[in-house]
Structure 1
Amino acid sequence: MDKVLETFKDKTKMAIITFLLFIIGIFIGYFVFKVNPERVIMNLDKLLGNLIEIGEAMNNKSKLHITGLIFQNNIKALLVIIFGGIALGLIPVFSIFFNGFVIGIVMAFSLYQGKSITFFLAGLIPHGILELPAVIMAGAFGLKTGIDIIFPGSKSRKELLQVNLKNSLLSLGVFVPILFLAAAIEATITPYVMKLFI
């Protein structure tokens, strides 16, 4: 376990960058909706993708099925973010920004429908308190890989890539349990919390 935790030690700067990208994405997503809500609503299916499928499953599937669906979706996204760093860090940068962008749009859409900000937060915080830091930290791993490929310093790119990929694999020992717990919370607890604020 110490080896796994060790992989997180040099990711502080990258985590700050990915956090800022995420926050910027939220603001831009929110304001894009506010500027032209009709156009965004027309394209919600494309923007939200699997979120709509998960939302529909909430109504007629078992909690276990929903947990599995959310977990599968989140793991796929996480792997793209972490290992997409090979593409010079561009994939994690875009993915983290887009995650924030979607949250900004969902928040604006929720308010547009007359729901309160409390209702929106009730649908995000119970599972998001685990899921979002995991996604942002995954972005830090992906970005670190990309930065090391672009600016290898005194070490070879091959050596740095091997180290980063090894660390990324080890980090899954932290990320996978967190995402499973977040998925279980999203499937079971989040819907009940949201009902309290309808």
Structure 2
Amino acid sequence: MKMKELFNHFKEMKHYFIVTVLVFAFSFYLGWANSDQFTNFLNNQLRGIKSISQSLSGKENPQFWFFIVIFLNNAIKSILIVFLGLGFGLLPLFMLIANGMILGYVLSLQNHGNTFALILKGIVPHGIIEIPVILMACAYGLKLGMLVWKAGIQMFVPVQLRTARSELSRVLRLTKPLAVLIAVLLLIAAIIESTLTYWLVQM
């Protein structure tokens, strides 16, 4: 069963998972520090998000539309970022850094008294699922990117020493159950975000 094979493959991905967490944490710190060179970029990202949020809030059933937009946005981006990793892993790395910086920057805008409440009410309920899933997608995107690099380098070595292409084929076969897992988990996260998180933030 491919899903079982995917779960077994997670053991081989531990170094990529560690790297994605470290990069995300460092990016979070950069966003939190609110360095002037990143402020314009982060503010532009937040303006886009705020515009969508305001548009949805004006609809007849905002929670339903929040659910649809959140799920489709996260699922499509996360699944795409896995395959876009074939472009030498550059886009997964960019998404990882951007998401970490945006989250850190948003929290840096809160005063100390409100930050804990924002994390507890606005991020934790759905974030305990959503953030690990995004990190997992980026990790597999980076894995594919690294294998593309290795396959390119191994073109100049004897055929019997070329292992990256076979490994790349194996990981690509696992992207189908990976996409299903990502979609299911992000569906659950979107339900939580559009109901429980939405309700808590309105309090």
> Which TM bucket (shorter chain)?
0.7 to 0.9
Length, aligned pairs only = 190
Q: In the alignment, which of 164, 169, 174 is matched to residue 181 of structure 2?
A: 174
Aligned to 1:9, what secondary structure does the other structure show? Answer: helix
Structure 2 length as normaliser, TM-score? 0.82
Aligned to 1:116, what secondary structure does the other structure show? Answer: helix
Instruction: Tell me which structure has the larger Cα radius of gyration.
Output: 2
Distance 1:167 1:60, change over 3 A: same
Is the helix fraction higher in 1 or 2? 2
What's the counterpart of residue 137 of structure 1? 136
1:101 aligns with 2:101: yes
8 Å CA contact retained: 2:85, 2:91: yes
What's the counterpart of residue 70 of structure 1? 70
Structure 1 length as normaliser, TM-score? 0.84
8 Å CA contact retained: 1:15, 1:140: yes
> Which segments of structure 1 move beyond 6 Å, counting only runs of 4 or more?
none
What's the counterpart of residue 186 of structure 1? 193
User: Where do 1:6-25 residues align within 5 Å?
Assistant: 6-25=8-27
User: 1:156 deviation in Å?
Assistant: 4.8
What's the counterpart of residue 169 of structure 2? 162
Distance 1:53 1:74, change over 3 A: farther
RMSD: 2.5
1:120 aligns with 2:127: no
Q: Distance in 1 between matches of 2:184 and 2:101?
A: 25
Q: Name structure 2 gaps, 5 residues minimum.
A: 155-160
Q: Distance in 2 between matches of 1:77 and 1:97?
A: 14
Q: Name structure 1 gaps, 5 residues minimum.
A: none
